[in-house]
Structure 1
Amino acid sequence: MATVKNTYILGIETSCDDTGLAIVSNGEIIAFEKSSQGIHQNTNGVVPQIAAQEHLREINSLFQSCLDGAGIETEEISAIGVTSGPGLIGSLAVGASWALGLSQNLNLPIYGINHLEGHVFTLFFSDEKPKKFPILVLLASGGHTMLLDWSYPEAFKRIFNTRDDSAGEALDKVATMLNLGFPGGPEIERHAEQARDELSYRFTVPMRNKTGFSFSGLKTEARKKIREHDELNLADFCASFQKAAFDHLLDQSEKQLSLKQYHGIAIVGGVSANQKLRKQFQSLAQDHSLCFFAPPLKLSTDNGAMPAIVAEKMLNGEIETSFLTGVYSRFKSKK
């Protein structure tokens, strides 16, 4: 009987301020390395030039750690998947140029991976892997908030995007107003867990009678309340703001569920690491008799397994191939 040769797919993610590398083999993560840039805490936001410099400083050592973790040699790598966008151009260029150099040295195929598709494909690492489609996917992160219609192996279709700020950006900015540091989402969550009353501060849930996402008004309302209250109950305020933001995500997702028959609902992206949000979407799925999917917590935020799993499926001919041709800052849908 013929022996099936293992393939080893190197994934490289440098779209923002996380340098992530991983090696995937036959759908499993066999090496995973990541460096998050704490330097941006000093500026309460990502400085693009510094982010690119940090990627360049970290990528070689992370690659060697991946090889050691997987127990393979450089020459055993079968293909490379590198995030090509959307993201910060300088950061993306570091990962893409480094990956291109390696692919040329080893004569390997190199795939340019859509960052958003990478987030969606982390669902293949969830405890209950998606098998029936379509699935309604909420992608919520610091850079993006959108609803997606996913009918694998076809590319996902964007239903609608946020009109202004992303959910993660709104959480980060409100955390900055409260002097909680950056990134702010985990700090908002941590303080909200100590709250006694998540209705202490009344926020207006955006777009109750409309379709789409919008967080700029909610953010402005938060700024106004912070200025008006000299003695703010921090835990209750964080819980109240978080509740309004998550109610907005739930409302818009439930509206879409009423418009089309889905086999499941999923959440991906950095905001999906929030435990309260996971429980709320799990309840939403149960209410509609749907399967619920979410990636493992460590795969919610940017990481190298994202481009690696997409590249593996391209190499295997499961989905349309997209070779690296450059990097781009904004969302690009597949034709």
Structure 2
Amino acid sequence: MKKKPIIIGIESSCDETAVSIIRNRDVLSNIIIHQNIHKKYGGVVPELASRLHDINIVKTVNQAINLAKISKKEISAVSFTLGPGLIGSLLVGASFAKSFSMGLDIPLITVNHVQAHILAHFINNSNINNCSPKFPFLGLVISGGHTQIVKVNDFFQMKILGSTLDDSIGDTFDKLARILGFHYPGGPIIEFFSKNGNCKKFVFSKPLINGLNFSFSGFKSHVLQFIKNKLHNNPSFIKENLSDICASIQRTMAEIILEKVQKATLKTNIFRIALAGGVSANHDIRQVFISFAKENKKWEIFIPKKEYTTDNGAMIAITGLLKYEKNLFDSINVSPYSKFKNF
């Protein structure tokens, strides 16, 4: 009987050193080391991130292998993030993966980071409803670096229908958090304070962008000006209204992306929507989509469990496994890329 392939996935596109091992779409291990040092700088410092990846990667790989209770010789292929991301961080992961591939004489598989976020839905039991979407479906990738609506016809047949014209939704959360006096990363802090807030207390304008593209710069400027005006009249405005401000910001952003996805469903006649990326962990965004789907019976919503929303090695490993099954291997001469390329 043929053994099921075992794939190791290495993710190092930003500030998480993440390694996972998958067999037969089951996660055997999923280790993530967070670089918390960036908090004091107000954002990720690229050179520091790459240095910490260099320090952490061997340790993380060994932890993943030990937790999976396998030997290195059992690994069928090594997959890793080729891009997009911070080039220095990507180079660390790529260099290690190439060495690992040559040392064990196993295939090398490159992975597109955004594509991997979407394909995380095909890890066994990765969704809150424990089932994967059928093709075709719409992938909504919302993270610190990306905001995209993607039509997914098959594992490796994807087309971008809409993308952000400026800031990503995650970056917008972080920038608005700084206005409120929060440290990086700001999104989870806004979510925390919004729990006890009135999401209808303050009304913020939504950007009027034709088609399926997003824009958050105007929204961000509007919130900034709103805060400045309120502080001018009342220096304690933020302190006195913090929960309501956070809840109103969060709900407006959730409605912005929901309205775009609504347009995408009508344009494509596809009503299966799979959320992906770090911001899909946001409770309010999840609830807005779940509530809309309950009211609109055509809609099917797929939401990943929180451990598969942030950057993680499991999403790289599952993409590697799906490519392995199709013999989609790569040359040792591949080079990482920082900017997004087509799938």
Structure 2 CA distance for aligned equivalents of residues 251 and 188 of structure 1 = 22
Q: Secondary structure at the match of 2:30?
A: strand
Q: Which residue of 2 aligns with 1:8?
A: 6
2:251/2:284 contact within 8 Å kept: no
3-state SS of paired residue (2:268):
coil
Q: Quick check: 116-125 or 280-289, which moved more? A: 280-289
2:15 alignment partner AA: D
Residue 224 of structure 1 aligns with which residue? 225
Instruction: State the SS of the aligned residue for 1:271.
Output: helix
**Which residue of the partner structure matches residue 276 of structure 1?**
284
The 1-side partners of 2:113 and 2:55 are apart by: 22
Whether contact under 8 Å (1:134, 1:263) holds in the other structure is: no
- 2:108–2:329 contact (8 Å) kept in structure 1: no
Cα distance, 1:208 vs structure 2: 6.5
2:244 to 236, 248, 254: 236
**1:23 touches 1:305 (CA, 8 Å); kept in 2?**
yes
Q: CA deviation at 1:255?
A: 0.8
**Match of residue 120 from structure 1:** 118
Q: Which of 236, 252, 260 pairs up with 2:260?
A: 252
- CA distance change for structure 1 residues 291 and 213 in 2, over 3 Å: closer, same or farther? same
Contiguous gaps of at least 5 residues in structure 1: none
Gaps of 5+ in 2: none
Q: Percent identity?
A: 36
Specify the SS of the correspondent of 2:157: coil
Determine the structure 2 residue equivalent to 1:36. 34
TM-aligned CA deviation for residue 131 of structure 1 = 4.8
Q: Tell me, what secondary structure is at the counterpart of 1:258? A: helix
Equivalent residue for 1:57, pick from 55, 64, 67: 55
By how many angstroms is 1:322 displaced? 5.0
Cross-structure match for 1:298: 307
- Cα distance between partner residues in 1 of 2:301 and 2:211: 25
- Give 1:25 shift: 0.4
After superposition, the Cα gap between the structure-2 partners of 1:288 and 1:207, relative to the gap in structure 1 and judged at 3 Å, is: farther
Give the alignment of 1:1-335 within 5 angstroms: 3-124=1-122, 125-126=126-127, 127-195=129-197, 197-207=198-208, 211-229=212-230, 230=235, 231-232=237-238, 233-286=241-294, 287-317=296-326, 321=329, 325-334=334-343
Q: CA separation of 1:274/1:13 partners in 2, compared to 1, >3 Å: closer, same or farther?
A: same
Q: Kindly indicate whether the alpha-carbon contact (under 8 Å) linking 1:199 and 1:240 is maintained by their aligned counterparts in 2.
A: yes
TM-aligned CA distance change 1:75 to 1:161, over 3 Å: same
Q: What residue identity is the alignment partner of 2:315? A: M
CA-CA distance at 1:262 after TM superposition:
1.4
Alpha-carbon distance in 1 for matches of 2:5, 2:13? 25
1:152 partner letter: D
Quick check: 2:251–2:285 contact (8 Å CA) kept in 1?
A: no
Aligned-residue CA RMSD in angstroms?
Answer: 1.5
Normalising by structure 2, we get a TM-score of: 0.92
What SS does the aligned partner of 2:326 have? coil
Q: 1:263 to 1:322 in 2, by over 3 A?
A: farther
Tell me whether 276-285 or 6-15 shows the greater mean CA deviation. Answer: 276-285
CA distance in 1, matches of 2:156, 2:99: 30
The residue identity in structure 1 corresponding to 2:94 is A
DSSP-derived class of the 1:11 partner: strand
Q: Is the 8 A contact 1:113 1:322 kept in 2?
A: no
In structure 1, give the amino acid aligned to 2:154. Answer: Y
Instruction: Output the CA distance in 1 between the equivalents of 2:246 and 2:155.
Output: 40
Deviation per CA, 1:221-257, whole angstroms, max 9, x where unpaired? 1211222222221111111111111111011110111
> Aligned in 2, Cα 1:211/1:64: closer, same or farther, shift over 3 Å?
closer
Q: What's the TM-score, normalizing by structure 1?
A: 0.95
